[in-house]
Amino acid sequence: MPGYREEDSRTTSSGSQTGGAQNALLCQRTADCAGLPVLAGPVEATALGNVLVQARQHGLVSGSLEDLRALVARTHDVQRYEPVATTEGTR
């Protein structure tokens, strides 16, 4: 496939932007089982994204999608859960 690089397809983290992001045990176990960090939040990311895109369309905010994502990152907490080494069989 032209332009394809295997290193571009590697998953480096997982994310939860739903109500599950409020469950620390779920996020930690997901990180442990996947062996990847989990980024939890913002909880209502879908609704927040919807509002921001509509506000941009109506001229109330400006910027690219990356700019809007940066705005969310500055104004909402995201919790990072690092995987904890587990013994074989607990995954």
pLDDT tens track for 10-60: 666 666 656 778 899 999 999 999 999 998 888 888 899 899 999 999 999
Could you say which DSSP state residue 9 is in? G
CB-based burial label for 11 (10 Å; 0-12, 13-18, 19+):
exposed
Question: Cβ of 6: how many Cβ atoms within 10 Å?
Answer: 6
* Res 44: pLDDT: 84
pLDDT digits 0-9 by tens, 59-74: 999 999 999 989 988 9
